[in-house]
Amino acid sequence: MQARCKSDFKIDNQYGAIYQKDNWYDYYIEIHEETGREIYYVDGQPMLVRTFKENFDDIQAIREEKLNQLLNENKM
């Protein structure tokens, strides 16, 4: 999936990931085995849900959610 960066930001770690506003980035989600928490990987860089939601517009996921809601409403 892809998400659009809301604002420029940098993650200070050994890789020094830099993200730029209005650029699109590939991401995927994994569930951590031990904690059960969602880990978002944006261009291979892991981040927690809060960091992802604060800095990226997850337009594809929102669109899919809305489509599923519409489909479920029509089934009733």
If you average pLDDT over residues 11-37, what whole number do you get? 90
Assign 11 a pLDDT band (cuts: 50, 70, 90). Answer: confident
Assign 12 a pLDDT band (cuts: 50, 70, 90). Answer: confident
Which is higher by pLDDT, 39 or 75?
A: 39
Locate the domains of the chain by residue range.
2-75
pTM assigned to the model: 0.76
Residue with tokens 């020094």: 16
| Residue type present at position 3 | A
18, 45 Cβ separation under 8 angstroms? no
60 pLDDT more than 70: yes
> Rounded to an integer, what distance in angstroms lies between the CA atom of residue 26 and that of residue 19?
12
If you average pLDDT over residues 42-70, what whole number do you get? 88
* pLDDT of 47: 93
